[in-house]
Structure 1
Amino acid sequence: MKKSLVTIYDIANKTGYSATTVSKALNDYADVSEKAKKRILEAVEEMKYFPNSSARTLSTKKSWTIGVVFVESLGIGMKHPFFNEVIESFKQSVEVHEYDLLFVSRNLHNQKKSYLDHFRYRGVDGVVVVCSNTEDQQVKELMEDALPSVVIDLNSDTSSVVFSDNWAGSSLAVNHLYELGHRRIAHITGHRKTFAGQQRLKGFMESMNHLALDVPESYIVDGDYFSEEGGYRAMKELLSLPSNPTAIYAASDSMAIGAIECINDHGYSVPDDFSIIGFDDIALSKFVNPKLTTIKQHTDQIGQKAAELLLKQINGKQKSAEEVQIPVELVVRESCKAL
Structure 2
Amino acid sequence: MVSMKDIALKCGVSVATVSKALNGYSDIGDETRSQIKQAAAELGYFPNSAARALKTNRTYNIGVLFVDEARSGLTHEYFASVLDNFKVNVEKRGYDVTFINHHIGTRAMSYYEHCRYRGVDGVVIACVNFDEPEVVELINSDIPVVTIDHIFNNRTAIISDNIAGMRDLVTYIHSMGHRKIAYIHGADSSVTRDRVTSFYRTMEELQIEIPESYVQEGIYHDTESAASRTRELLALKSRPTCIIYPDDFACIGGINEIKEQGLHIPDDISVVGYDGLHFTQVLEPKLTTLKQDTYLLGKEAADHLISLIERPKTTLITRAVVKGKLLSGNSVSRLSH
Question: Normalising TM by the smaller chain, what interval?
Answer: over 0.9
Q: Is the Cα contact below 8 Å between 2:185 and 2:196 reproduced in 1?
A: yes
2:200 to 195, 199, 205: 205
- Show the counterpart of 1:245: 240
TM-score by length of 1: 0.94
- Show the counterpart of 1:116: 112
Q: How far off its partner does 1:25 sit? A: 2.4
Instruction: Give, in whole Å, the separation in 2 of the partners of 1:302 and 1:35.
Output: 38
Q: Is the Cα contact below 8 Å between 2:219 and 2:246 reproduced in 1?
A: no
- Show the counterpart of 2:274: 279
**Paired residue secondary structure (2:305):** helix
**Paired residue secondary structure (2:126):** strand
Q: How far off its partner does 1:83 sit? A: 0.7
Instruction: Give, in whole Å, the separation in 2 of the partners of 1:33 and 1:154.
Output: 46
Instruction: Give, in whole Å, the separation in 2 of the partners of 1:129 and 1:80.
Output: 15
- Show the counterpart of 1:17: 13
> CA deviation digits over 1:28-84, x for unaligned, max 9?
234444343222211111221122222222222211111110120001111111110
Report which stretch shifted further, 214-223 or 125-134.
125-134
Pick closer, same or farther for the CA change 1:132–1:184 going to 2, 3 Å.
farther
What are the residue-to-residue correspondences of 1:297-308 with 2, within 5 Å? Answer: 297-308=292-303
- Show the counterpart of 2:38: 42
Pick closer, same or farther for the CA change 1:198–1:133 going to 2, 3 Å.
farther
Q: Is the Cα contact below 8 Å between 1:66 and 1:125 reproduced in 2?
A: yes
Instruction: Give, in whole Å, the separation in 1 of the partners of 2:110 and 2:292.
Output: 31
What are the residue-to-residue correspondences of 1:59-74 with 2, within 5 Å? Answer: 59-74=55-70
Q: Is the Cα contact below 8 Å between 1:106 and 1:114 reproduced in 2?
A: yes
The size of the alignment, in residue pairs, is: 334
**Paired residue secondary structure (1:280):** coil
Q: Is the Cα contact below 8 Å between 2:221 and 2:249 reproduced in 1?
A: yes
Q: Is the Cα contact below 8 Å between 2:66 and 2:128 reproduced in 1?
A: no
Q: How far off its partner does 1:12 sit? A: 1.6
What are the residue-to-residue correspondences of 1:52-91 with 2, within 5 Å? Answer: 52-91=48-87
Aligned-pair identity in percent equals: 37
**Paired residue secondary structure (1:43):** helix
1:265 to 260, 267, 270: 260
What are the residue-to-residue correspondences of 1:178-217 with 2, within 5 Å? Answer: 178-192=174-188, 194-217=189-212
**Structure 2 unaligned spans of 5+:** none
Q: Is the Cα contact below 8 Å between 1:200 and 1:251 reproduced in 2?
A: no
> CA deviation digits over 1:292-318, x for unaligned, max 9?
010000101100110000111111145
Instruction: Give, in whole Å, the separation in 2 of the partners of 1:172 and 1:46.
Output: 53
- Show the counterpart of 1:288: 283
1:174 to 166, 170, 175: 170
TM-score by length of 2: 0.94
2:333 to 323, 334, 337: 337
Report which stretch shifted further, 45-54 or 13-22.
13-22
Q: Is the Cα contact below 8 Å between 2:220 and 2:250 reproduced in 1?
A: no
> CA deviation digits over 1:77-135, x for unaligned, max 9?
11111110011101110111221111122113633221111111211111111125342
Instruction: Give, in whole Å, the separation in 1 of the partners of 2:116 and 2:154.
Output: 19
Q: Is the Cα contact below 8 Å between 2:158 and 2:301 reproduced in 1?
A: yes
Instruction: Give, in whole Å, the separation in 1 of the partners of 2:316 and 2:84.
Output: 24
Q: How far off its partner does 1:320 sit? A: 4.4
- Show the counterpart of 2:231: 236
**Paired residue secondary structure (1:69):** strand
Q: How far off its partner does 1:285 sit? A: 0.8
Instruction: Give, in whole Å, the separation in 1 of the partners of 2:331 and 2:152.
Output: 35
- Show the counterpart of 1:146: 142
Instruction: Give, in whole Å, the separation in 2 of the partners of 1:146 and 1:62.
Output: 14
Q: Is the Cα contact below 8 Å between 2:162 and 2:194 reproduced in 1?
A: yes
Pick closer, same or farther for the CA change 1:285–1:20 going to 2, 3 Å.
same
Instruction: Give, in whole Å, the separation in 1 of the partners of 2:312 and 2:53.
Output: 15
- Show the counterpart of 2:3: 7
Report which stretch shifted further, 194-203 or 63-72.
194-203
Pick closer, same or farther for the CA change 1:158–1:284 going to 2, 3 Å.
same
Q: Is the Cα contact below 8 Å between 1:64 and 1:124 reproduced in 2?
A: yes
Q: How far off its partner does 1:268 sit? A: 0.8
**Structure 1 unaligned spans of 5+:** none
Q: How far off its partner does 1:177 sit? A: 0.7
